[in-house]
């Protein structure tokens, strides 16, 4: 199509190649707009619910019927069943229910929805119930998490001075933590035990500098499975579900400095530290007697190699002390991790 423009009393023909710039953009946009819409539509997918996790919903509804200051342990267990974890000393019950959700995956190609299959996700519902000294319910917190292909966020649950979270980012699973105010009472009972205790944590400076770089994530005592002493990393709501010592890691995520206890037989023990990301390995030994508590302060730094993290080296060392380090007075104590207790659920009383 030719365009006629009148100027200076003469008719002139203007080639499309010399059309004003804004006219060319308008013409280009009219051609590209439908293509962009098609591309967006082709990349769009969604799911149609086929089965809701009814058991998880019912568990949350039953937990809402428990009365603070009135309901007892028996009332909680009547409403919610047998707990996954329980402790009279730590004053809590943790309930879990497993269920599934199913949805029909649909992909939009141009404007036509095409079913691509039904997808099933495992859903876990949790209820944390804390009790007062008289055995009555002090606080209740509930939430759920989906174990689908793209794990959803699980907001930490908090009841009284206890918190649970699921660290999916470092594959540490379910973690139960108690606030720092519970540590001294527990250590007092450990001091009269026939076994000894090693409590490990990363140096406080390493936490605040960059907690997932300067601390080894594989610490093994003797032939036991390695544990990760780094802070817990998860999502919580400040002022509600966050432990009091939680520090911001990002806009919505927090990390919680932890002390990691290990119960040992009296004697000499081997300790090895390494990293799943960096090269390097540190080994040492320490000794503990019956009723003794040893505090292992882990310090590390990374020697960066230009080739990348796998070629870099982590230099780590541990210093043992007989007194609780001052920087640990605000650290949470890790009670349970993944599939096992780190402390005694009911410590000995003599």
Q: What tens digit of pLDDT does each residue of 280-304 get?
A: 899 999 999 999 999 999 988 888 8
* Residue 278, CA distances (Å) to 167, 172, 206, 212, 296 in order: 21, 19, 16, 11, 21
Mean pLDDT for 243-249 is 87
CA distance linking residue 41 with residue 31, whole number of Å: 17
**pLDDT given for residue 350 in this prediction:** 55
The CA–CA distances, whole Å, from 321 to 65, 194, 254, 297 equal 48, 20, 29, 8
On whether the CB atoms of residues 301 and 313 are closer than 8 A, the answer is no
pLDDT digits (tens, 9 = 90+) for 319-347: 999 999 988 888 999 999 988 999 999 98
Burial of 277 (0-12, 13-18, 19+ CB in 10 A): middle
Confidence of residue 173 (pLDDT cuts 50, 70, 90): confident
Bridging pattern class, strands 157-159 and 232-235 = unpaired
Distance between CA 332 and CA 330 in Å, rounded? 7
Question: Taken in order 239, 243, 246, 250, is the CA torsion positive or negative?
Answer: negative
Q: What is residue 305's predicted lDDT score, i.e. its pLDDT?
A: 82
Q: Is 0.85 topped by the overall pTM?
A: no
Residues whose CB is less than 8 angstroms from the CB of residue 188 and which lie 6 or more positions away in sequence, other chains included:
none
Quote the CA–CA distance of 262 and 292 in Å, as a whole number: 12
Residue 148: predicted pLDDT: 58
pLDDT value at position 248?
84
pLDDT at position 308 is: 78
All residues at 6 or more sequence positions from 331 whose CB lies less than 8 Å from its CB, including other chains: 180, 183, 201, 245, 257, 258, 259
């Amino acid at each position: 199509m030719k365009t006629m423009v009148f100027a200076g009393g003469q008719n002139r023909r203007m080639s499309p190649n010399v059309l004003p710039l804004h006219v060319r953009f308008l013409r280009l946009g009219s051609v590209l707009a439908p293509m962009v819409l098609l591309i967006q539509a082709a990349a769009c997918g969604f799911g149609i619910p086929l089965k809701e996790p009814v058991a998880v919903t019912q568990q949350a509804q039953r937990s809402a019927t428990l009365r603070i200051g009135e309901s007892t342990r028996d009332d909680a267990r009547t409403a919610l069943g047998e707990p996954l974890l329980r402790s009279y000393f730590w004053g809590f019950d943790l309930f879990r229910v497993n269920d599934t959700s199913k949805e029909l995956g649909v992909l939009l190609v141009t404007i036509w929805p095409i079913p691509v299959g039904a997808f099933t996700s495992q859903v876990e519902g949790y209820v944390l119930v804390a009790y007062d000294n008289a055995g009555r319910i002090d606080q209740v917190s509930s939430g759920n998490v989906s174990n689908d292909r793209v794990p959803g966020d699980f907001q930490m649950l908090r009841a009284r001075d206890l918190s649970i979270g699921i660290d999916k980012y470092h594959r540490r699973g379910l973690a139960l933590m108690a606030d720092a105010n519970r540590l001294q009472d527990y250590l007092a009972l450990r001091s009269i035990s026939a076994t000894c205790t090693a409590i490990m944590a990363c140096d406080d400076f390493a936490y605040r500098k960059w907690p997932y770089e300067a601390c080894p994530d594989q610490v093994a005592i003797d032939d036991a499975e390695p544990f990760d002493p780094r802070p817990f990393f998860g999502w919580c709501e400040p002022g509600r579900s966050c432990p009091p010592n939680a520090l911001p890691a990002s806009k919505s995520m927090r990390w919680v400095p932890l002390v990691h206890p290990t119960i040992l037989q009296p004697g000499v023990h081997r300790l090895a530290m390494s990293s799943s990301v960096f090269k390097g390995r540190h080994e040492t030994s320490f000794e503990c007697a019956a009723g003794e508590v040893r505090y292992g302060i882990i310090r590390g730094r990374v020697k960066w190699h230009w080739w990348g993290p796998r070629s870099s080296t982590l230099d780590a060392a541990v210093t043992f002390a007989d007194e609780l380090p001052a920087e640990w007075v605000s650290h949470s104590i890790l009670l349970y991790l993944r599939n096992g207790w780190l402390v005694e659920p009911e410590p000995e009383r003599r």
